[in-house]
Structure 1
Amino acid sequence: MKDPVVIIGIGEIGAVFARGFLRTGHPVYPITRSMDIQAERSQVPEPIVVIVAVGEADLHPALEKLPDEWKPRIALIQNELLPADWQCHGLVDPTIASIWFEKKPGQDVKVVIPSPVYGEHAELLTGSLNALDIPAYLVHDRERLLFELVRKNYYILASNIAGLKVGGNVSKLWAEHEPLVRTIAGDIHTLQEHLTGNKLEHEELLQAMLVAFDGDPGHQCMGRSAPARLQRALRIADEAGLDVPALREIAAASRQ
């Protein structure tokens, strides 16, 4: 039997990975909210990888509870993920997957574009996804990983925040509201440069975001998390003293 895999958080995405690992012959040990991570560590002391599949809001509490023995084996798959999110927990170079597929209750997996995966256990994760016919590929350097993470943030934040104003799907968003998308993306760029401490190529990121728009043109812009994403972005801007006029205008209009 192959080495075991631990998955912390068995929601829709965690369950997809579980199915992929089972198909490739790895036993899977799920950890849910009600379980004691430290106690479970004694049952599975040396998993080949530990995938943290909780939502963005639960990421930091989950990482705070990680056993030290598991930290070198960690893989993260959250949205709105940037290096500071794992570095503040003492994780040096974890495996990271920028997930570009959706899984909603009662529906099959919907692929937007292939998912890039970086790190020591990247081949293991891509193998589990490929076993389910979910395209994924390896990223070999940190610079490219950062680009892919920021690209995903552009996609999520631009579509969600623009959707608060105009609704619709991403295809219509760009076709009918390109100036709005560009102004929002400019503010997102300001936030991402602040959060990463890096100079980022805005136009290249914008064009990469549009490739993802084309991958699922019917994707609805405004998910239920959109208001919280906007408020989180404004909180970061306020704390850093950043000028994000487009985001502030949309927030003000949504309060009326």
Structure 2
Amino acid sequence: MQAPVVLLGVGEMGGVFAHGLLRAGHAVYPVTRDMDPVEAAARYPEPALVLVTVGEKDLHPTLAHLPAAWADRVGLIQNELLPRDWEAHDLPQPTASAVWFEKKPGKAVNPIIASPAYGPNAGLLVNALDSIGIPARRVEDYEEMLFELVRKNVYILTTNIAGLETGGTTGTLWNHHRELAHQVADEIMDIQAWLTGAELERERLVAGMAEAMLADPEHGNTGRSAPARLARAIGYADEAGLEVPKLRALAKEHAAS
């Protein structure tokens, strides 16, 4: 038996990782929102990994109350994840993954492309996903992982936000509304550059976004979170002093959506 893994959050995504971790030989200890993480840390003080799979809005409250014993064992898989998220809580480099598969209630897992993972327990996550047939790969370089996190953000924000205008699928967005996709992606990259303080490889990011769009061309663009993602992006733009005219026009047009 491998070292145990603590799971903070037991939703659809957490369930996928729990399945993979169990198949890879790890005991899994779930910590739900009704449980006290301090008590859990006293019971399991040295897990191999503390994998945070809570919803996006719960990430920072969860990290703010993370027991100190677990601080150097964290794994993060949230959408829109960037280094500033763990740096805000003075956490050392966690294991981080840009997850490229979808799991909705009552439906099978839908892999799009291989999910990259970086950090102390990247191999553990890759092995867990491989054990249940979900493609994953280990990234050794921090700058490359930053690229992968931004790439996922550009993809999800562009498809969600442009999809407010077009509806439909990622394949349709890229093949028939490419100008709009480029306009939105360019402004999202402006925001991501400000959030990361990094000089982005913009052409490579757009190519990576397009690769994912066309890997699963029937993937729907929008979901319930799309308006919130747009509002959050504009909030960042306001903070950074960025114009982002296309995002603002879409927000005005779809304010009642």
Shorter-normalised TM range: over 0.9
1:49-128 paired onto structure 2 within 5 Å? 49-128=49-128
* Residue in 2 that maps onto 1:232: 232
Give 2:36's aligned amino acid.
D
Cα displacement (A) at 1:131: 0.2
Cα displacement (A) at 1:84: 0.4
Cα displacement (A) at 1:2: 2.3
* Residue in 2 that maps onto 1:45: 45
* Residue in 1 that maps onto 2:171: 171
- Write out per-residue CA displacement over residues 148-177 of structure 1, whole angstroms, 9 at most, x where no aligned residue: 000001100000000111101010111111
CA distance in 1, matches of 2:245, 2:204: 22
* Residue in 2 that maps onto 1:23: 23
Number of aligned residues:
256
* Residue in 1 that maps onto 2:8: 8
- Write out per-residue CA displacement over residues 36-87 of structure 1, whole angstroms, 9 at most, x where no aligned residue: 1001111111111100001111100000111111011110000000000001
1:189-204 paired onto structure 2 within 5 Å? 189-204=189-204
Give 1:237's aligned amino acid.
A
Cα displacement (A) at 1:255: 2.6
Cα displacement (A) at 1:104: 0.7
CA distance in 2, matches of 1:211, 1:125: 23
CA distance in 1, matches of 2:255, 2:161: 14
Mind listing any 5+ residue stretches in structure 2 that lack a counterpart? none
Cα displacement (A) at 1:226: 0.1
CA distance in 1, matches of 2:239, 2:144: 28
Percent same amino acid among aligned pairs?
53
* Residue in 2 that maps onto 1:161: 161
CA contact (8 A) 2:160 2:223 kept: yes
CA distance in 1, matches of 2:255, 2:36: 41
CA distance in 1, matches of 2:30, 2:57: 19
CA contact (8 A) 2:71 2:92 kept: no
State the SS of the aligned residue for 2:80: coil
Cα RMSD after superposing both structures = 0.8
Give 1:201's aligned amino acid.
E
* Residue in 2 that maps onto 1:34: 34
CA contact (8 A) 2:189 2:202 kept: yes
CA distance in 2, matches of 1:175, 1:249: 22
CA distance in 1, matches of 2:58, 2:125: 21
Cα displacement (A) at 1:240: 1.6
Give 2:240's aligned amino acid.
A
CA distance in 2, matches of 1:182, 1:203: 10
CA distance in 2, matches of 1:142, 1:250: 34
CA contact (8 A) 2:31 2:37 kept: yes
CA distance in 2, matches of 1:207, 1:85: 26
When normalised by structure 2's length, the TM-score is 0.98
CA distance in 2, matches of 1:241, 1:199: 17
Return structure 1 stretches of 4+ with deviation > 2 angstroms. none
* Residue in 2 that maps onto 1:206: 206
CA distance in 2, matches of 1:112, 1:58: 25
* Residue in 2 that maps onto 1:148: 148
Mind listing any 5+ residue stretches in structure 1 that lack a counterpart? none
Give 1:238's aligned amino acid.
D
